[in-house]
Structure 1
Amino acid sequence: MVEAILSKTKGDRWIWLIVILLSILSLLAVYSSTGTLAYKKGVGTEQYLFKHLVMIVGGLALMYFSHLLDYRYYAGISKVLMIVTVPLLLYTLIFGNNVNEASRWVTIPLINQTFQTSDLAKLALITFLARTLTKKQEQIKDVKKSFLPIMGSVSAVFILIALANLSTAMMLFGVSILLLIIGRISIKQIGIVCMAGLVLLTLVVFFGPRSATYKSRIDVYMHPEKADPDKSFQANQAKIAIATGGIFGKGPGNSTQRNFLPHPYSDFIYALIIEEYGMVGGFLVVFIYLVLLYRCILIVTASPKAFGALLAAGLSFSLTIQAFANMAVAVGLGPVTGVPLPLVSMGGTSILFTSVAFGIILSVSRDIEEKKLAKDAKVIIGEIPAMA
């Protein structure tokens, strides 16, 4: 059965293994961390576990079908995604569901399921930038034909996300800069993009609708000894969870801080993992994401086409930067944000979009493998007459 499954899955086997490991860890952590939430809602913990399992299975299915599609098709899909994304982000800001003073979610009619539009925006912008940078390589220094369209798309998506979700916008902006560097945009033009991003960031932080929240989080992080206990509550509880976890942890399901952490199943799931599995478990998670980054870099360097390399680079950087940002916040190395741990945190559509990103990376890897096999086959066929 295992051989039959492996025969139908293509691409980097290590990435498939990483996805399976993270999915198993996610099920264990979510089941352990949702006890208090289930109690408050008056339902069984199994209900949240089942819902999360459905999302993981759905994500694996999307990942499988995404990796079967030739990655070159995503160039055309990216145009449609960008056309949909910008109006959708604007709609979310005006009419989206407001949670904690932030409009990040919209409700899908009929199924009554919410999704965070920034997840779609990340996928759209990265694929669009990869396509544009590839298509404009011959005119890459042309300001009017290349630089302005690229800068316009990055700035538009950044500002629309930043007004409600600054941390996600900053990470996506950083990934965009990395893609511009890989795509041979001049240092001068990249400097202009960075300056524009800094101006937009300043405007959002000081004059945006959530400026008070952003300034408060930064102040709490910089001066925790002077902070209001209510505002530093999440960070303090996460530190307690990590401190009491020790080297080997309290064991699966034995967390106590899950009863105090506001979001132990999403934003602070890494703190819960360390509490239950100790520093050993925490370092293992870090190692898994480092291996993921390493395998993705191998795919980027092996890709014969610029679009495939840029696509794999952008998506892999996005996933790993998000992962390390989440873990950094959990251990107190950054101000509190609402960034989930990819494929581990409990989530709805965020798991689905993350799975599609993995599927696209695997599609690039599958293309590399198929070309290598075809090349090897030609070499073998060419050697037969010589041996005769």
Structure 2
Amino acid sequence: MSRQDFLRRMPEAASAFSRRARLAERLHIDFFLLALLMALTVIGLLVLYSASGHNLPSVEKQATFFAIAYATMFTVAQIPVDFMRRMAPFAYVGGVILLVAVTIFGNVAMGAQRWLQIGGFRFQPSEIMKLALPIAIAAYLSGRFLPPRFKHVVAVLGLIGVPTALIIEQPDLGTSILVATSGIMVLFFSGLLWRYIAAAVVIFLASLWPIWHFMMHDYQRQRVLTMLDPTQDPLGTGWNIIQSKTAIGSGGLSGKGWMEGTQSRLDFLPEGHTDFIIAVMSEEFGLLGVLLLLTIYAMVIIRGLMIAVNSQNTFGRLLAASISSTFFVYVFVNMGMVSGMLPVVGVPLPLISQGGTAIVALFAGFGILMAISTEKKRVMTPQG
């Protein structure tokens, strides 16, 4: 292309870019984030088909959940950010009420009481709190001077503690960690003073002994011991970790090929379609496949943090940063427990593991990111 042609086409390219930007703003869609999510959707369905033993109905059910999730994301993206801020207290109180309802008449499955049944629809209220909590804390802190004062830090910790305690009681340690993290991330990005952070670390370390002896269930203590040495009970509690490591290591650099993995296909790897699905992917696609997945995850997180930086108000910045960093924690905890670096706490791999409510909740969070990303520039309010 000649220099003259290049200069002649520059206005056309700029005009096309401007039209796309206006379209994104009107539809409240972040096209780059959408492309990344669609890539994760395709990967998730492909890996699930293999991990579920070529069970097409499971894949179709997961695809249905994805369709609902995308519809939820596009719907949430249309909600004005200021409206989210004003509705935050109601969302938090409603979420806590649902968690209390779970403890009273929730459905019991696999020894845990985590679900509510409304007609033919069953859902986990704890998934709602993954968004309701950071929205409430971001709304609370955005109307105050930052960094937050001590009394505001205490108030935020109280807001975090109530739903976290209710979820631990179900019991669901993995989800309670994610819910607490979503709230703590808002507090951290609000400019929390380092002396508060140091004090929290000291208190946490001092609490480890009483937590171990008086708060943790026997099965939770066993999970920690299994993480430290899974060979102590290779045919019992250590089975999942040992088989998971075997699957990850046997994949090598490029893997055995799609649907050619032996650990899941021969049923050596339990929960291969849910919590341990990354082990299936590692075996079939190898290190290169996992690095591709991690790259897409990293791009999603970076895009979310960029949205936070460019947000028009404090509420949007805190909320977008919390959603993005909590998504990182999802990935880190799942891969850490599957590789034996963390105890098994039942955290699925986001958008890859089989699940319903969790996927819809995640996409609702991405809808919030899109709403913040496409928010029109406006005069800053005292809350902003």
Q: Which of 237, 242, 248 is equivalent to 2:254?
A: 248
Pairwise mapping of residues 124-143 of structure 1 onto structure 2 (< 5 A)? 124-137=132-145, 140-141=148-149, 143=151
Contact 1:59 1:352 survives alignment (8 Å): yes
Measure, in 1, the Cα distance between the counterparts of 2:247 and 2:104.
Answer: 37
Q: Which of 300, 308, 315 is equivalent to 1:307?
A: 315
Q: Which of 182, 189, 192 is equivalent to 2:189?
A: 182
Q: Which residue of 1 aligns with 2:84?
A: 74
Contact 2:234 2:242 survives alignment (8 Å): no
For 1:371, what is the secondary structure of its paired residue?
coil
CA shift for structure 1 position 201 = 7.1
Specify whether residues 254 and 75 from structure 1 end up closer, same or farther in structure 2 by C-alpha distance, changes over 3 A only.
same
Specify whether residues 198 and 304 from structure 1 end up closer, same or farther in structure 2 by C-alpha distance, changes over 3 A only.
farther
Measure, in 2, the Cα distance between the counterparts of 1:282 and 1:69.
Answer: 35
How many positions carry a matched residue from both structures?
354
Specify whether residues 206 and 122 from structure 1 end up closer, same or farther in structure 2 by C-alpha distance, changes over 3 A only.
farther
Gaps of 5+ in 1: 37-44, 375-388
CA shift for structure 1 position 263 = 0.9
CA shift for structure 1 position 211 = 1.1
Measure, in 1, the Cα distance between the counterparts of 2:163 and 2:116.
Answer: 20
CA shift for structure 1 position 181 = 2.5
Deviating more after overlay: 219-228 vs 234-243: 219-228
Q: Which of 112, 119, 132 is equivalent to 1:110?
A: 119
Q: Which residue of 2 aligns with 1:224?
A: 230
Contact 1:180 1:190 survives alignment (8 Å): no
Deviating more after overlay: 129-138 vs 89-98: 89-98
Residue 173 of structure 1 pairs with residue 191 of structure 2: no
Residue 360 of structure 1 pairs with residue 360 of structure 2: no
For 2:123, what is the secondary structure of its paired residue?
strand
CA shift for structure 1 position 291 = 1.1
1:31-62: CA deviation from partner (whole Å, max 9, x where unpaired): 212228xxxxxxxx222111111100110111
Contact 2:308 2:318 survives alignment (8 Å): yes
Measure, in 1, the Cα distance between the counterparts of 2:206 and 2:134.
Answer: 22
Q: Which residue of 2 aligns with 1:42?
A: none
1:157-178: CA deviation from partner (whole Å, max 9, x where unpaired): 2222233122332343344333
Specify whether residues 84 and 191 from structure 1 end up closer, same or farther in structure 2 by C-alpha distance, changes over 3 A only.
farther
Q: Which of 40, 44, 51 is equivalent to 2:61?
A: 51
CA shift for structure 1 position 88 = 2.1
CA shift for structure 1 position 230 = 0.8
Measure, in 1, the Cα distance between the counterparts of 2:207 and 2:172.
Answer: 13
Contact 1:26 1:344 survives alignment (8 Å): yes
> In structure 1, what residue type is equivalent to 2:155?
P
Q: Which residue of 2 aligns with 1:22?
A: 40
Contact 2:133 2:182 survives alignment (8 Å): no
Measure, in 1, the Cα distance between the counterparts of 2:319 and 2:269.
Answer: 36
For 1:106, what is the secondary structure of its paired residue?
strand
Q: Which residue of 2 aligns with 1:282?
A: 290
Specify whether residues 21 and 138 from structure 1 end up closer, same or farther in structure 2 by C-alpha distance, changes over 3 A only.
closer
Q: Which residue of 2 aligns with 1:206?
A: 213
Gaps of 5+ in 2: 1-19, 380-384
CA shift for structure 1 position 12 = 3.1
Specify whether residues 196 and 362 from structure 1 end up closer, same or farther in structure 2 by C-alpha distance, changes over 3 A only.
farther
TM-score w.r.t. structure 1 length? 0.83
Q: Which residue of 2 aligns with 1:91?
A: 101
CA shift for structure 1 position 213 = 1.1
Deviating more after overlay: 179-188 vs 240-249: 179-188
Specify whether residues 371 and 25 from structure 1 end up closer, same or farther in structure 2 by C-alpha distance, changes over 3 A only.
same
Contact 1:219 1:227 survives alignment (8 Å): no
TM-score w.r.t. structure 2 length? 0.84
Contact 1:71 1:308 survives alignment (8 Å): yes
CA shift for structure 1 position 187 = 3.8
> In structure 1, what residue type is equivalent to 2:75?
F
Q: Which residue of 2 aligns with 1:151?
A: 157
Measure, in 2, the Cα distance between the counterparts of 1:133 and 1:190.
Answer: 17
Measure, in 2, the Cα distance between the counterparts of 1:198 and 1:98.
Answer: 33
Contact 2:164 2:180 survives alignment (8 Å): yes
Contact 1:159 1:200 survives alignment (8 Å): no
